[in-house]
Chain A
Amino acid sequence: MKRVLARTIYMVIVLVLSSIAVFYAIRLSGGDAVAARVPASASAEEREAVREQLGLNDPFHEQYFDYMGRLFTGDLGNSLTNNADIGKLLTEHGRNSLILGVAAFVLVFGVGIPLGMLASLRRNSWWDGGIMTFSVAGMAVPNFWLALLAVWLFASVLGWLPSAGCCGPKQLVLPAVVLAMEGMALTVRMTRSAMLENLSQDFVRTLRSGGLSESKVIGRHVFRNALVPIVSLAGLRIGQIVGYALVVETIFGWPGLGQVLVNAVLRRDYPVAQFFSLVLITIVLLSNWLADVGYTVVNPRLRRS
């Protein structure tokens, strides 16, 4: 319990610090936010007036507290470019991102763990060799390149799947697989080594000496022990998925949070960019927090001592 509380406090601190960093970084990034708001023919006075109206001339800390205050009252603001309601952007694009993210997450663990187990149980076989080769390739190939390769092969050459679009199952396949690939490869490796490590532990012999079947010994006991490191790094996998989503959503034209954020940054759309940065940061921090709590759950040695 103490550990969970400590992790929670830690998360809040990091969240505050990173919100300041994001706020500052966007203002440092150069370019003119007002350009998005006024016609190119506008005079210097007109520009200055808009700048004043948006509060961009206030000192940094005033802008920050002003913005955070409005955020807490539920006023997320509007886009500078098209005046779209940010709350609406969040729900619409958030839903798409959630679909893609969950699909990738399921692939990372739902495919990664069974493949890793298979490799460990058929150690040094063709299965093992094939799975580990796939895993090395999955880690080595950058996902933007994998995305282009996948589009070329499955969309252009074979014509099995659409190269982009939203949001049916057919459109989901390529972005989800590309997004999941690296995490899946890492999970395979980690599962395999954790299984092998625990298979050689003394307690396995004890359980066998108790007359338990191999399926119980391996499927229940060895697996539960192997799960400890896998779960502890699950948070990092989620963070990875969130980060890579920016690239993958952009390449596949998947209208999710990442795509909104990338476009907003390119257009100096401050309110949208900072809000969605904060959203992504919060997701990553929350997932790390969840992994910490999950680690405590799967590892009784951390519970009470």
Chain B
Amino acid sequence: MTDNGGQASGGDQPVTAPLLSIDGLRTMVSSRRESFDVVRGLSLDIYANEVLCLVGESGCGKSITALSIMRLLPTPPVRVREGTIRFRGEDLLSVSGKRMRSIRADAISMIFQDPLTSLDPVFTVGEVIVEVIRAHRDMNKEDARRLAGDALTKVGLPDPISQLDSYPHQLSGGMRQRVMIAMALVLDPDILIADEPTTALDVTVQAQILDQLVTEQRERNMAMLLITHDLAVVAAVADRVAVMYAGEIVEQAPVDELFEDPRHPYTQGLLRALPKVSTTRRRLDPIPGLVPSLQMMPPGCAFAPRCPHALDRCWTEQPELAADQDGRVFRCFNPQPFAG
């Protein structure tokens, strides 16, 4: 595999070693009838203290990547076929189940999209947080409960101590997501993976939750992998951005560079598709065509069928994710300057 370009240090990337390093990840769906890769050789590094946004449209493999890291894929039918995910020198894909359980929530935490279905309806939020604490720390119930109460207080839940005895259905969507955040952060993890954490919430609540996440990330010096399809969210919180298309990363850059000067035609298309507020009303500018079916990927560049600048070579050869002379990392044979 030659996808190591993902680790190439572009621009002003930190020089320290990455906290989490994904290398050549291939995750596949297999049923009796067919099997195909949904993540196709993905490499990505996450550094301490940074907010890394993973963007891309639905079905491009963002969530599957996150679940691969946590080893929470719905197996069968989805499983990791190839690659390594190194965290502090350990390959998460080959550690024992017991070791992986001890890493979850304690070192790497995750929050999910829909906070209603993501919480157990027949247990109070306090009971579950206490259980998570006691799965990792040798602590009696009272102390764990106190810690859980602190965690709820910290995420800005109103009346946090009495909410310990609430059931999920008694809380609003925003409060539930705060509970999820409290549960994910109660053990002070090194990395928080947030998979579309605001998508299921009202717009006003989205901003609050996002704000809470960024505050927590800064205060705790924690790395955050934020998965989203919302470029406004990316612009607001990201340090670095990785753009995903059809199961692979097509471009990765510090947030300013990405928005000012996107190199990959897909990234350019995404930015062009953003509705703009302007005096002259104009039509939206979508990317033409459809994402190729993962069951039948074209032999060359996955974006070639939709690319306005595709060369003959693009249809037959896979470009690699690599840094160009400016230190910009993307996957394209024929990059064009961006004209917003």
Question: Do the two chains bind?
Answer: yes
Give A residues with C-beta under 8 Å from B: 201-203, 205-213, 216, 221, 224-225, 228, 298-301, 305
**Does B105 contact A305, Cβ atoms closer than 8 Å?**
no
B residues in contact with A305, CB < 8 Å: 169-170
**Does B119 contact A206, Cβ atoms closer than 8 Å?**
yes
How many pairs, one residue from A and one from B, have CB atoms within 8 Å of each other in the complex? 76
B residues in contact with A206, CB < 8 Å: 112, 118-120, 180, 183
**Does A210 contact B135, Cβ atoms closer than 8 Å?**
yes
| Cα of A223 to Cα of B183 in the assembled complex, Å | 22
Apart from A209-B184, A210-B183, A301-B167: 5 A-B pairs, beta carbons within 8 A: A205-B118, A206-B183, A221-B122, A300-B121, A301-B121
**Does B117 contact A202, Cβ atoms closer than 8 Å?**
yes
A residues in contact with B223, CB < 8 Å: none
Asked whether any CB of chain A lies closer than 8 Å to the CB of B114, the reply is yes
| Cα of A225 to Cα of B103 in the assembled complex, Å | 26
Whole-angstrom distance between the Cβ of A227 and the nearest chain B Cβ: 8
Asked whether any CB of chain A lies closer than 8 Å to the CB of B109, the reply is yes
| Interface magnitude class on chain B | 20 to 34
7 A–B pairs (Cβ distance < 8 Å), ordered by A: A209-B104, A209-B105, A209-B109, A210-B104, A210-B105, A210-B183, A211-B102
B residues in contact with A298, CB < 8 Å: 122
**Does B104 contact A299, Cβ atoms closer than 8 Å?**
no
A residues in contact with B114, CB < 8 Å: 202
Asked whether any CB of chain A lies closer than 8 Å to the CB of B70, the reply is yes
Asked whether any CB of chain A lies closer than 8 Å to the CB of B101, the reply is yes
The 7 closest A-B pairs by CB, nearest first: A210-B132, A211-B104, A202-B117, A211-B105, A203-B120, A300-B167, A209-B110
Known: A208-B72, A210-B131, A212-B131. Contact between A300 and B101, CB under 8 A?
no
Asked whether any CB of chain A lies closer than 8 Å to the CB of B50, the reply is no
Q: Tell me the nearest residue of chain B to A206, going by C-beta.
A: B118
**Does B169 contact A301, Cβ atoms closer than 8 Å?**
yes
**Does A210 contact B128, Cβ atoms closer than 8 Å?**
yes
B residues in contact with A225, CB < 8 Å: 120-122
| Cα of A207 to Cα of B118 in the assembled complex, Å | 9
**Does A205 contact B102, Cβ atoms closer than 8 Å?**
no
Known: A213-B135, A228-B122, A299-B122. Contact between A202 and B101, CB under 8 A?
no
**Does B101 contact A207, Cβ atoms closer than 8 Å?**
no
B residues in contact with A207, CB < 8 Å: 120, 128
Q: Tell me the nearest residue of chain B to A303, going by C-beta.
A: B167
| Cα of A210 to Cα of B123 in the assembled complex, Å | 15
**Does B106 contact A211, Cβ atoms closer than 8 Å?**
yes
Encode contact with A along B121-134: 1 for CB under 8 Å, 0 otherwise: 11110001001100
Encode contact with A along B65-86: 1 for CB under 8 Å, 0 otherwise: 0000010100000000000000
**Does A208 contact B104, Cβ atoms closer than 8 Å?**
yes
A residues in contact with B131, CB < 8 Å: 210, 212, 216
**Does A211 contact B122, Cβ atoms closer than 8 Å?**
no
| Cα of A216 to Cα of B101 in the assembled complex, Å | 12
**Does B132 contact A203, Cβ atoms closer than 8 Å?**
no
| Cα of A298 to Cα of B122 in the assembled complex, Å | 7
A residues in contact with B110, CB < 8 Å: 209
A residues in contact with B276, CB < 8 Å: none
| Cα of A221 to Cα of B106 in the assembled complex, Å | 20
Asked whether any CB of chain A lies closer than 8 Å to the CB of B88, the reply is no
Of B70, B101, B121, the contact of A213 (CB 8 Å cutoff): B101
A residues in contact with B123, CB < 8 Å: 221, 224
